[in-house]
């Protein structure tokens, strides 16, 4: 009987670090709706994204270090490198064409097999590597790293990782990929939306407007700018999950069993 594939486990320290960066990330993305128009943060609306971008770089690095210290051994790091390189290579395929982004399905399947902690690190590292590969480095990159980390982490939090298999599991992963693809696009819209000048468009963020007004502006902005792209990303993710998912899941689980991440490496003393 084959051993069960085990996800990379997290210690309390890693869980605390991940919770902290996620909480700060929620504020970094959602501050236009969390601060009143009279607050000092709203008065510096053009500076806030830069401030949060710098903060997120440090926090994501802290989380990656904490998870690596407690949950990633040399074998897991090697698999992380392979999967991150594969995801980075997949991202340019179809870039700029109706949201055809095949890397998202790989993040879903990897997070499912290897767990939420590994998924978060994988999503962040993959986005960073792909940005270097495509020249997409900018103030938006930390937001992309965090959003992709959440995307892959969510797959690792889905129910039934040890019991659910076959078509039921594929349906679950496809449904998650579809919804999470829209969520990723919406969250990333929040990162760029405050940069728009309120004088340039009636869907731009207005730091002096009420929260309800800005929420209506943001929804209109999403519908006008990214709905088609997000739909393409969601459809591609579902299609690849249903067609390639069985083979990729088997390969990931086989590699995880053979790597035996939780088995410590020991060296026998030489015989005399």
Q: What is the DSSP string of 88-138?
A: HHHTTTTTTSTT--THHHHHHHHHHHH-HHHHHHHHHHHHHHHHHHHT--S
Check: CB of residue 60 under 8 Å from CB of residue 142: yes
CA distance 27 to 219: 19
Kindly tell me the sign of the dihedral angle through the C-alpha atoms of 219, 221, 224, 229: negative
Note if the pTM is more than 0.85.
no
pLDDT higher than 70, residue 44: no
Containing structural domain, residue 21 = 12-37+47-260
pLDDT tens digit string along 181-228?
Answer: 999 999 999 888 877 766 567 888 887 788 888 899 999 999 988 888
CA distance 225 to 184: 14
- Higher confidence at residue 134 or residue 132? 132
In a domain, 272, yes or no: no
CA distance 239 to 79: 25
CA distance 224 to 203: 9
- Higher confidence at residue 12 or residue 146? 146
In a domain, 42, yes or no: no
In a domain, 243, yes or no: yes
> Which of 215, 236, 225, 219 minimizes the C-alpha distance to 94?
236
pLDDT higher than 80, residue 99: no
- Higher confidence at residue 237 or residue 258? 237
What's the pLDDT band for 155 if we cut at 50, 70, 90? very high
In a domain, 5, yes or no: no
The pLDDT value given to residue 267: 42
Cα angle value 37/39/40 (rounded, 5°): 125
What's the pLDDT band for 68 if we cut at 50, 70, 90? low
The pLDDT value given to residue 18: 78
pLDDT higher than 50, residue 13: yes
pLDDT higher than 90, residue 244: yes
In a domain, 1, yes or no: no
The pLDDT value given to residue 107: 95
Check: CB of residue 27 under 8 Å from CB of residue 34: yes
What's the pLDDT band for 1 if we cut at 50, 70, 90? very low
The pLDDT value given to residue 129: 87
In a domain, 2, yes or no: no
Q: Per the structure, how many domains does the chain have?
A: 1
* Mean pLDDT confidence for 89-97: 73
* Mean pLDDT confidence for 48-54: 59
CA distance 189 to 195: 10
- Higher confidence at residue 232 or residue 17? 232
1, exposed or middle or buried, with CB in 10 Å at 0-12, 13-18, 19+? exposed
């Amino acid at each position: 009987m084959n051993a069960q594939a085990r996800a990379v486990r997290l210690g309390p320290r890693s869980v605390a670090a991940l919770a902290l960066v996620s909480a700060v990330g929620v504020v970094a993305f959602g501050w236009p709706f969390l601060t009143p128009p009279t607050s000092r943060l709203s008065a510096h609306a053009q500076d806030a994204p830069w401030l949060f971008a710098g903060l997120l770089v440090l926090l994501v690095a802290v989380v990656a270090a904490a998870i690596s210290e407690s949950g990633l051994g040399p074998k897991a790091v090697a698999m992380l490198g392979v999967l991150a390189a594969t995801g980075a290579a997949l991202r340019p395929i179809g870039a700029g064409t109706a949201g055809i982004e095949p890397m998202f399905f790989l993040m879903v399947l990897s997070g499912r097999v290897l767990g939420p902690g590994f998924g978060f690190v994988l999503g962040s590292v993959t986005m960073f590597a792909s940005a270097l590969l495509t020249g997409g480095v900018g103030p938006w990159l930390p937001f992309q790293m965090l959003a992709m980390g959440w995307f892959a982490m969510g797959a690792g939090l889905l129910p039934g990782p040890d019991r659910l298999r076959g078509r039921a599991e594929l349906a679950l992963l496809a449904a998650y990929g579809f919804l999470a693809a829209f969520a990723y696009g919406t969250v990333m819209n929040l990162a760029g939306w405050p940069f728009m000048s309120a004088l340039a468009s009636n869907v731009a963020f207005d730091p002096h407007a009420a929260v309800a007004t800005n929420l209506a502006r943001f929804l209109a902005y999403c519908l006008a700018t990214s709905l088609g792209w997000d739909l393409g990303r969601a459809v591609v993710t579902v299609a690849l999950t249903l067609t390639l998912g069985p083979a990729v899941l088997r390969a990931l689980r086989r590699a995880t069993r053979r790597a035996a991440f939780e088995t410590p490496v020991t060296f026998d003393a030489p015989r005399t």
